[in-house]
Amino acid sequence: MRVIVESQFVKDAQHLPDAVQKKLAAYVDICSVNPFDVRLHAKPLSGPLQGFFSFRIGRDYRALFRFVDPMTVFLSRVGNRKDIYR
């Protein structure tokens, strides 16, 4: 699986706490193998974010991604779950 990271994803990730950044790095590696690995708790989104998926990074953080094609994942945003879906 190929992973493309948007510049906004990198900016968002830089503002995360260090422990969450380390966990995010591990989860991006997992996502590059299988975006629907059970450890990620990935789910499809609805409404204005239809076409996107999210995966958990701990209890309070989420990463948004979408598929460009069946073998390419595009990571677009990462942040606190209370803000990320807006």
pLDDT of residue 25: 96
For the chain, what is the domain count? 1
Q: Tell me the three state secondary structure of residue 74.
A: strand
pTM of the complete model? 0.93
pLDDT at 15: 96
pLDDT at residue 86, rounded to an integer: 86
| 24 close to 13: Cβ distance less than 8 angstroms | yes
> Could you tell me the mean pLDDT of each successive run of 10 residues in the chain, 86 residues long?
95 96 96 96 96 96 96 97 92
Instruction: Print the domain residue range for 35.
Output: 2-84
Which tokens is 41 given? Answer: 């708790």
Q: Which pLDDT score, from 0 to 100, does residue 60 have?
A: 96
Predicted pLDDT of residue 38: 97
Residue 50 sits in a domain whose CATH number is: 3.30.2310.20
**Residue 30: φ, ψ to 5°:** -65, -45
